[in-house]
Chains A and B, each alone.
Chain A
């Protein structure tokens, strides 16, 4: 299919320069690559800039209420597992008001593709700090800086027993499309954290890696089965150092060091995935030499909620003699009058 088939007739109203434009185009490309027809593709969103996305996609879409997209998407997918269901959400929609639904869709492992647009700010309400804003962040609702500790989405996903986590950058279209396609192919709840820039209220929030000059040295794109190598000159690699205390630590070594790790996104044990996902996430970074991980960090298969629910119904129906209302009432203790 072509990306243009997924483009709706609506004028895209994101602010000029907003990272969401790029994500929108990436989505259209990813959906085309995946190839599920438009009438079998459903895009559910909550409220916020990110949640405008369904309007720009020529699929079935539902722009719902703040924070509840996860629950509504769970209802769509569980009742109709044959549909390809995407959820568009932001750091406020997903991690503040919708936090409960988010952890439970992950715990249940509903087969959804969840695009979490993280710009570390409330944009649509014009600039309040969000659950991912760094401590000390100055905004309209935190004029003296926030005193709150932020969430790190990857940590929350793994804590909620998430089976798929990828991180992408608005300005890196190929990786974004790649992660979205991988998210779709993964059976289960796939979280794709899209680091997006809010040009109006939080410009440059991801400049540490979005800056073209420094991106290659400040980030690493992880790919399953490939060596963890990064840097402008592809001269750096990641490995585990077992010499610093009890816990091993990720360190940067030369790319040709035989200790350079090969990425395995399918490990059930999330320990290394967490270490990789947490690189550069404590802001400001305490160990700036470690790159921020992009790409598919975790991708493990487990039974999905929607298929389990439907299978159980099928199994019970198969073995039951009662299948209709009249048969059901005949099982009652009853008498004629």
Chain B
């Protein structure tokens, strides 16, 4: 298949090898587009979506993805509970995976219903509504008509035999009915495969169609398949065949469908790029930091959704010398890490909200013993077990305050899947240089989503100078001795002449031994506080994005940066987005006081707003809070800010 772009802006010519025909196709030029792949858990939607996203990124689009899979590992086939989705936004100026899809790929009746009704999918008699649907009024829907049989409709709790009418899908939506199952079987009939294997390739036919719809060269996609199925080479040929047939089928469709051309990104810096998921980026940030500072990376962790992929990634990186202990529980996860930190390693623990609760006392020990420790909290819906597979920003207060005693630690947050790398790296740097636990907050949305990552060389990353101990203290060392910044010196087992006893009990500020002296306790509480506060001097100043001259400043932190940036652009207002929370960047108060109207937007009930009020006197904050355990929708933020003026 090859394509010749004509001089006319609105169409191009394709040549089809199969039938030897040239064809002129009209296309739409789009700045960005949202595609949602939706099917049964077993339909391979995550793979299909990931491939399409990576393909788009290679072709020069910015991407942001949102995997949305059910909590059940395998729900009954064809049911509403088993629908798995993968949404990607591609184009230029892409900050989020998008609120609603322009293109839907629905692999079965249940997927069609879930996409059409959105959050109301399990309400009897619910009809398509623009505000709750997963797709826009003018969306294009590719649907497998072979999966709309009476039995399929019954499983997805339809009451009539016409799903489109029953769901009230407006006529402005273009439906492309495709007999995916039949066509896939047809495509593979000469390959000697069993029925089950053939059916598993349906997703590749759909991917071929989507590639056609977006003018994606099919050879790039086939190259992907070859690397994906390296270990199962017998699957390469069938998948490539189905994908190519899917593409050609689209090309030959006698339908009046416009294909889409999505703009390439024009403002990305030059470099080598890949697409990366947040959890992997976090793991790699730790790996890079360990190599940079010459320490071994130790992770103590316990399986917990949605953080476990960090442990998976690090457990597979023994080639990099990473040591992972899968502990017997969350407490042992952090405690083994504290043991490794005491012994001189770069130590980390990864968890989610419930695990952070369990680790609280031990994090307090690391505060008291003044040991470097990186705690990664991939937040999920809470409290208690809550919504393990969904996203939320509700652990902020727990991270800042959730320990006994006056117990300050550094708290920071990543704000995109790709920059999980940078903030994990920074968390290690701050911990090692300041002898403190650092809690890094990410969340389900960042952890499972992917974004475009410019791959750095290790030499480009900032140097890390772990705290050490002056030679002069040999023979006189104790764990209370501090440098001029107030950071205690770090000596660890194996170092001759620095033997000492560290404690979780209060220590004498001079001698480092157990102390219950009243004045000493006050002195130590303030010393630990001052040590954390001086970290602010090492932080980059808070930047204002968007229209800095506006009266309105949106304020956010963590994973919502993309949505808030998109909202700020639409509102033509300013945005102050925080990655460093405790301590705050030194210029925070100055920036906040410049604006008339401050709107703090969070996926919780106002935790950051409450914290800001406690840190900066005399500011009036409006709050926009969502507690749906879903990422923001840009439209809702825009509407709130507009309507509450």
Chain A residues packing against B (C-beta within 8 Å):
8, 10, 37-42, 44, 47, 54-55, 58-65, 68, 70-80, 82-83, 100-101, 104, 309-310, 312-313, 316-317, 320, 322-326, 328-329, 332-337
Contacts and interface: CB of A to CB of B under 8 A. Distances in A.
B56 to A, nearest CB: 11
Nearest to B335: A71
Nearest to B454: A337
B24 interface: no
A312 B57 CA distance: 37
Interface in B481-505: 492-505
B339 A73 contact: yes
Contacts of A322: 319-320
A64 B364 CA distance: 10
24 contacts: A39-B493, A42-B493, A47-B504, A60-B492, A63-B501, A63-B504, A64-B335, A64-B365, A71-B332, A71-B339, A74-B332, A75-B336, A75-B340, A75-B347, A76-B339, A76-B342, A309-B323, A320-B318, A324-B458, A328-B319, A329-B455, A332-B276, A335-B57, A336-B272
Interface residues of B, number: 71
A310 B338 CA distance: 18
B496 A37 contact: yes
B343 A39 contact: no
Contact of A79 (B345, B457, B498): B345
Given A75-B335, A100-B329, A337-B269, 4 more contacts: A39-B498, A75-B325, A333-B274, A337-B268
B337 A64 contact: no
A123 B284 CA distance: 47
Contacts of A337: 60, 268-273
Contacts of A61: 500-502
Given A75-B298, A79-B339, A335-B272, A324 B291 contact: yes
Contacts of B347: 75, 79
B343 A75 contact: yes
A329 to B, nearest CB: 5
B158 to A, nearest CB: 40
Contacts of A104: 327-328, 332
Contacts of A326: 457-458
B296 interface: yes
Interface string B269-304: 111111010000000100110010000101010000
Contact of B321 (A39, A44, A313): A313
Contact of B502 (A37, A63, A77, A325): A63
Nearest to B342: A62
A76 B320 contact: no
A321 to B, nearest CB: 8
A83 B494 contact: yes
Nearest to B493: A60
B273 A101 contact: no
Contacts of A39: 493-499
Contacts of B54: 333
B75 interface: no
Interface SS of chain B: helix, strand, loop or mixed? mixed
Given A65-B365, A71-B331, A76 B493 contact: yes
A121 to B, nearest CB: 22
A148 B297 CA distance: 44
B58 A335 contact: yes
Contacts of B344: 80
Contacts of A335: 57-58, 272-274
Q: For A62, A63, A312, A324, which residue has the most chain B Cβ atoms within 10 angstroms?
A: A62
Contacts of B502: 61-63
Contacts of B58: 335
A10 B513 contact: yes
A40 B336 CA distance: 19
B268 to A, nearest CB: 6
A65 B369 CA distance: 11
Nearest to B495: A39
A10 B345 CA distance: 28
A333 B501 contact: no
Nearest to A315: B318
Given A63-B504, A79-B343, A100-B328, A72 B499 contact: no
A102 to B, nearest CB: 10
A75 B494 contact: no
B258 interface: no
Q: For A41, A100, A329, which residue has the most chain B Cβ atoms within 10 angstroms?
A: A329
Given A75-B335, A75-B338, A80-B344, A38 B499 contact: yes
A310 B340 CA distance: 14
Contact of B342 (A47, A59, A72, A101): A72
Contacts of A83: 343, 493-494
A329 B501 CA distance: 41
Contact of A317 (B319, B341, B493): B319
A128 B185 CA distance: 73
Nearest to A330: B455
Contacts of B499: 38-39, 58-60
B331 A68 contact: yes
A78 B57 CA distance: 42
Contact of B339 (A75, A100, A309, A334): A75
Contacts of B322: 313
B493 A40 contact: yes
Contacts of B318: 312-313, 316-317, 320
